[in-house]
């Protein structure tokens, strides 16, 4: 597992948050496979001889597996967010939630355990992580 979580500083990221980021990534991939700009995809599948249907199934399986790793309360919120949003995890930069661009006064960089506790924006409901600008 790699590219999804690249924003951490030195602190370890909350494992649930990392799972959510992976899910976000996989869902975007799934969406790309499922419709919209298929022109390019079809070309690619011909070239690499990929069964698109099978690829999509594997994605769905992986998504389900990852969802199974979420705690009950996180999963509940995820299920509310996921159908209506592309992004379920958003950064907070300089105290502003990048899901809704409302400032979150409590999410300051100096706060302790910021990466350990999974938090969400009270305005838009997205899971948030603090992206430090240092
Ligand atoms: Zn927000």
The DSSP code sequence of 102-130 is -B-TT--TT-TTTTTS-EE-TTT--EEEE
Cβ atoms within 10 Å, residue 40: 9
Report, as an integer, the average pLDDT of 54-66. Answer: 95
Quick check: 14 pLDDT over 90? no
31 Ramachandran zone, left/alpha/beta (phi>0; psi -120 to 50): alpha
Q: Measure 66 CA to ligand 1 centroid, in angstroms.
A: 24
Cα(42) to centroid(ligand 1), Å: 36
Give the residue-averaged pLDDT of 77-102: 92
For the chain, domain boundaries: 15-130
Which pLDDT value is given to residue 39? 53
């Amino acid at each position: 597992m790699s590219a999804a979580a690249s924003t951490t500083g030195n602190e370890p990221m909350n494992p649930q948050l990392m799972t959510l980021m992976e899910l976000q990534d996989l869902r975007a991939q799934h969406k790309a496979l499922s419709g919209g700009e298929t022109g390019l995809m079809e070309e690619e599948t011909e070239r690499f001889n990929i069964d698109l249907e099978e690829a999509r199934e594997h994605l769905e399986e992986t998504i389900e597996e990852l969802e199974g790793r979420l705690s009950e309360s996180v999963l509940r919120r995820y299920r509310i967010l996921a159908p209506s949003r592309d992004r379920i995890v958003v950064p907070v930069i300089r105290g502003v939630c990048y899901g809704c661009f409302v400032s979150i006064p409590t999410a300051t960089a100096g706060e302790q355990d910021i990466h350990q506790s999974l938090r969400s924006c009270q305005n838009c409901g997205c899971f948030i992580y603090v992206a430090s600008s240092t």
